[in-house]
């Protein structure tokens, strides 16, 4: 396995390269993305993983400072998973002190995480485009847990004519339903025991939607199941899965909808979502 920390050391691929962009602290959810990337690359292709805690996508300095960075463990996991190339640059290798250009998304990022984390998705789009330019993959793999991010990256490659195919992998969960996340390790034992209520509440909405056709009624019922003395709901929204705009009336019950949430346990922010079939 080749490990690069300097962008100048990278060269264009001489075989089909598929990329898994990560911020490290790799867990089984990331490894599901890696397996999908290997399938997409094929036996003769090249599997690449980037490990970079992107500072410009964090809206809270404390969250950036506390983000886990177990690089040696991550590299070992990559070796065991058969990764061919790891790109793990320091921040100053990715961003020059006088940088003045970034990517700005104006539609899909106005709701959900974009509404409560100003500038977050500009940081995501900027770093992903840089990774695509540096590593030149033919495809890249993202998880559906970060549904809004996935939608925005798809829009990025569409609108900027980036020749990278975007592949998606369903959310990988712990045995109790909690969506796998690098942030889970920062939960206290009590918080960790409580957090699976998020997925239970979202999943229950599939059967609730026919009896709660008004979006406000459905959201109120789900919120009541999510809330506990240990958490604080950052947002809970029902949106169109394509436009990510809020569903405000039951006028189109024949369309699917995305129920998305972000919940704080102390300083740890967990996101999850559930696609609801037509009512």
Catalytic residues: 30
CB 180 within 8 A of CB 198: no
Residues near 153 by Cβ (< 8 Å), separated by ≥ 6?
124, 125, 128, 140, 142, 166
CB 237 within 8 A of CB 109: no
What distance in Å separates the CA atoms of residue 8 and residue 179, rounded to the nearest whole number?
36
Relative to beta strand 257-265, strand 232-239 is antiparallel
CB 65 within 8 A of CB 114: no
Residues near 127 by Cβ (< 8 Å), separated by ≥ 6?
21, 52, 54, 56, 57, 94
């Amino acid at each position: 396995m080749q490990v690069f920390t300097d962008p100048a050391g990278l060269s264009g691929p001489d075989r089909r390269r598929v990329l898994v962009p990560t911020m490290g602290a790799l867990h089984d959810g990331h490894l599901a993305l890696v397996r999908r990337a290997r399938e997409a690359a094929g036996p003769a292709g090249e599997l690449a993983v980037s490990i970079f805690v992107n500072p410009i996508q964090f809206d809270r300095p404390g969250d950036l400072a506390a983000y886990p960075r177990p690089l040696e463990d991550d590299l070992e996991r990559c070796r065991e998973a058969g990764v061919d190339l790891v790109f793990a640059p320091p921040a100053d290798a990715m961003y020059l002190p006088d940088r003045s250009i970034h990517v700005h998304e104006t539609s899909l990022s106005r709701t959900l995480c974009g509404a409560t984390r100003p500038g977050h998705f500009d940081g995501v789009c900027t770093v992903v485009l840089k990774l695509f330019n540096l590593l030149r993959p033919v495809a890249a793999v993202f998880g559906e847990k970060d549904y809004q991010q996935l939608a925005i990256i798809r829009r990025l490659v569409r609108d900027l004519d980036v020749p990278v195919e975007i592949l998606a992998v369903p959310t990988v969960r712990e045995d109790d339903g909690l969506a796998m996340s690098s942030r889970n390790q920062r939960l206290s034992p009590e918080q960790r025991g409580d957090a699976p209520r998020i997925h239970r509440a979202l999943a229950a909405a599939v059967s609730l939607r026919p009896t709660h056709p008004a979006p406000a009624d459905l959201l109120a019922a789900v919120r009541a199941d999510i809330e506990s003395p240990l958490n604080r709901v950052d947002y809970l929204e029902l949106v169109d899965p394509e436009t990510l705009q809020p569903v405000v009336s039951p006028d189109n019950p024949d369309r699917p909808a995305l129920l998305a949430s972000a919940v704080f346990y102390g300083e740890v922010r967990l996101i999850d979502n559930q696609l609801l079939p037509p009512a």
